[in-house]
Amino acid sequence: MSSQREQWGSKLGFILAASGSAVGIGNIWKYPSMAGQNGGGAFTIVYLACILIVGLSIVVAEFVIGRKTQLSPVGAFEKLAPGSNWKWVGFLGVASAFVILSFYGVVGGWILKYIIDSILGGFNNLSGNPEAAGAVFNGFITSTYSPVLYQVLFMGLCIFVIVQGVKGGIEKWSKILMPIIIVLLAVLAIRGMTLEGGMEGLSFLFNPRFEDLTASAIVLALGHSFFTVSLGMGTMITYGSYLNREQNLMTSALWVILLDTAIAMLAGVAIFTTVFALGANPAEGPGLIFVILPSIFPQLAGGTIWATLFFILLFMAALTSAISILEVVTAYFIDQKGWSRKKATIQFGSIITIVGVFCSFSLGGGVNLTGFLGMSFFDVMDYLSSKYMLPIGGMLTAIFILHKWGLKEYMNELREGMNNMSVPDKLVKTFLIIAATIVGFIIFNEIYFTIAGKALIG
Ligand code: PFF
């Protein structure tokens, strides 16, 4: 089957698709709100260190495994370690894709609703009134039908893109959407910086306030570095599997990380300059996007346009990430079960949408799913994936290379396409060991916290 395997059309297309997966709600919503609450620049320093030390090693590892095997995660681990239990790391990835996309699709739906609201001038009567904006947001997400309707629409768009395949769907749309995301964000950041008082937002975001950086914020930064670069569930294995051997995997990984980080910073700049210029609360946390921004955009000249552009940008970023999650599931059924792309995408896209409907309902829309771990089903899915499933997947990938596949074979594959760029084996090995150790400790810490009620750190 591998002879007819789909391939990326160009190097640039691959880099834009992989960075499209990385750049998502995590960059534009999660990072700014986390940094705002956890020490600004101090959080950013830790986040950057995690991405450089842990993130980079695992992105490269996933690309290498994917390109070597030309298979999605389950098949890839099975091919490199036949008959062993390592294929379960691949299954964990497919399961993580299910879990993440179910709640990610719900948030994608909220974004669509906010695009429509902003176009229709729906934020105008929320001007300067975050309480009213909060009530509107809560009213919406806890209602039964409306969020589900938008979620189904969002998931329908993901299915539409994935059915068109690797080159005709993922690559084509990433090439269109990624440049627009970058331009829109740059425009919004410049707008924010030129507002009176906007520059104070920059010092809030970048000046390190170490007194606000708790140990649990460090743990948060590490978990987020997996989520933001789409690591630990085989997305990058799957994307790497559509590559030929000419691509330099090290520079590709550096590009993905650079774009992901730059876009998160730019989003932070766009948001905090505006928040400061208009005197809103910068440490609002998750409410920053759906509550604070709708209450401050109407105060800007041309506010409707700025608000609409912002939510369109967020939607594009969410879509290029969501399709990569669906592709992991689709590729599994194509590679391992021989299904057609259309059948796999439509069937499993629909099943994930149905699970997502329950995530949405769990926020108040009728079905009481609260109780497990004392959180809503929506929060459980978020918690399980970012605190356990992705870090465990990432750690096992590093251990797999060190203990099962072997560094020598790994380096042979990595060196293909690297021309004369030299990367010492020892350095790669050290990074993988550090990554696995740090992540292992963080997972242990989290489990200890759940059992003992207090963390070793944090
Ligand atoms: N990286 C995406 C974001 O920052 O929003 C989320 C994500 C996509 C996580 C794909 C995991 C994944 F496999």
What is the model's pLDDT at position 2?
45
Distance linking the first and last C-alpha atoms of the chain: 48
Instruction: Please give the Cα distance from 136 to 141 (Å, whole number).
Output: 9
Percent share of the chain, pLDDT over 90: 74
Of 424, 383, 401, give the one whose Cα is nearest residue 102. Answer: 383
Q: Is residue 61 part of a domain?
A: yes
Of 12, 44, 103, give the one whose Cα is nearest residue 318. Answer: 103
Write out pLDDT tens, residues 85-125: 999 999 999 999 999 999 999 999 999 999 999 999 999 99
Q: Under a CB-based contact definition with an 8 Å cutoff, are residues 178 and 19 in contact?
A: yes
Residue 386 alpha carbon to ligand 1 centre in Å: 10
Is pLDDT above 90 for 410? yes
Of 35, 382, 96, give the one whose Cα is nearest residue 236. Answer: 96
Is pLDDT above 60 for 403? yes
Of 362, 376, 355, give the one whose Cα is nearest residue 142. Answer: 362
Rounded to the nearest angstrom, the gap between the alpha carbon of residue 311 and the centroid of all alpha carbons in its chain is 17
Residue 448's H or E segment, with its range, is helix 425-452
Write out pLDDT tens, residues 322-340: 999 999 999 999 999 999 9
Instruction: Please give the Cα distance from 145 to 151 (Å, whole number).
Output: 10
What is the model's pLDDT at position 36?
85
Is pLDDT above 50 for 164? yes
- Amino acid residing at 421: M
Hey, whose CA ends up nearest to atom 7 of ligand 1?
230
The neighbouring-strand residues paired with 208 are 40
Ligand 1 mutation pick, 19, 21, 104, max ligand atoms within 8 A of CB: 21
Given pLDDT bands bounded at 50, 70 and 90, which one contains residue 373? Answer: low
Given pLDDT bands bounded at 50, 70 and 90, which one contains residue 1? Answer: very low
Hey, whose CA ends up nearest to atom 13 of ligand 1?
230
What is the pLDDT of the chain when averaged over all its residues?
A: 92
Q: Which residue has the tokens 């879509």?
A: 319
Q: Under a CB-based contact definition with an 8 Å cutoff, are residues 167 and 6 in contact?
A: yes
Write out pLDDT tens, residues 124-151: 999 889 899 999 999 999 999 999 999 9
Q: Under a CB-based contact definition with an 8 Å cutoff, are residues 109 and 322 in contact?
A: no
Number of domains in the chain: 1
What is the model's pLDDT at position 404?
97
Write out pLDDT tens, residues 21-33: 999 999 999 999 8
Q: What is the DSSP letter of 367?
A: -
Instruction: Please give the Cα distance from 226 to 228 (Å, whole number).
Output: 6
Given pLDDT bands bounded at 50, 70 and 90, which one contains residue 367? Answer: low
User: Cβ–Cβ contacts within 10 Å for residue 336, how many?
Assistant: 17
What is the model's pLDDT at position 64?
98
Maximum average pLDDT range among 123-132, 231-240, 286-295, 414-423: 231-240
Global pTM value: 0.94
List ligand 1's pocket residues with C-beta within 6 A: 21-22, 24-27, 100, 227-228, 230, 233, 235, 321, 324-325
Q: Is residue 457 part of a domain?
A: no
Ligand 1 mutation pick, 104, 227, 260, 384, max ligand atoms within 8 A of CB: 227
Q: Is residue 400 part of a domain?
A: yes
Looking at 194-302, list the stretches that DSSP marks H as alpha helix, in order from N- to C-terminal side.
199-206, 215-228, 235-240, 249-277, 287, 293-296
Q: What tokens does 28 get?
A: 């534009």
Tell me, what CATH number does 180's domain have?
1.20.1740
The neighbouring-strand residues paired with 40 are 208
Residue 125 alpha carbon to ligand 1 centre in Å: 34
Ligand 1 mutation pick, 106, 325, 329, 352, max ligand atoms within 8 A of CB: 325
Percent share of the chain, pLDDT over 70: 97
Residue 173 alpha carbon to ligand 1 centre in Å: 17
Q: What tokens does 411 get?
A: 């380096």
Residue 221 alpha carbon to ligand 1 centre in Å: 15
Mean pLDDT confidence for 341-351 = 98
Write out pLDDT tens, residues 202-240: 998 889 888 888 877 888 888 889 899 999 999 999 999
Q: Which residue has the tokens 């689709």?
A: 330
Structure-model confidence comparison of residues 341 and 445, the more confident one: 341
By mean pLDDT, which of 64-68, 168-172, 302-306, 345-349 is the weakest?
302-306
Write out pLDDT tens, residues 234-285: 999 999 999 998 999 999 999 999 999 999 999 999 999 999 999 888 877 7
Report how far apart, in Å, the C-alpha atoms of 69 and of each of 2, 61, 111, 393, 394 are.
9, 12, 37, 18, 18
What is the model's pLDDT at position 223?
84
Residue 175 alpha carbon to ligand 1 centre in Å: 18
Q: Under a CB-based contact definition with an 8 Å cutoff, are residues 79 and 71 in contact?
A: yes
Question: What does the buried/exposed string (b/e) look like for 187-219 if buried means 16 or more CB atoms within 10 Å of the residue's CB?
Answer: ebbebbbebeebeebbebbbeeeeeebeeebbb
Q: Is residue 458 part of a domain?
A: no
Instruction: Please give the Cα distance from 140 to 26 (Å, whole number).
Output: 21
Structure-model confidence comparison of residues 311 and 371, the more confident one: 311
Maximum average pLDDT range among 16-20, 126-130, 222-226, 441-445: 16-20
Structure-model confidence comparison of residues 318 and 423, the more confident one: 318
- Structural domain including 310 reads 2-452
Given pLDDT bands bounded at 50, 70 and 90, which one contains residue 446? Answer: confident
What is the model's pLDDT at position 259?
96
How many angstroms separate the most distant Cα atoms in the chain? 64
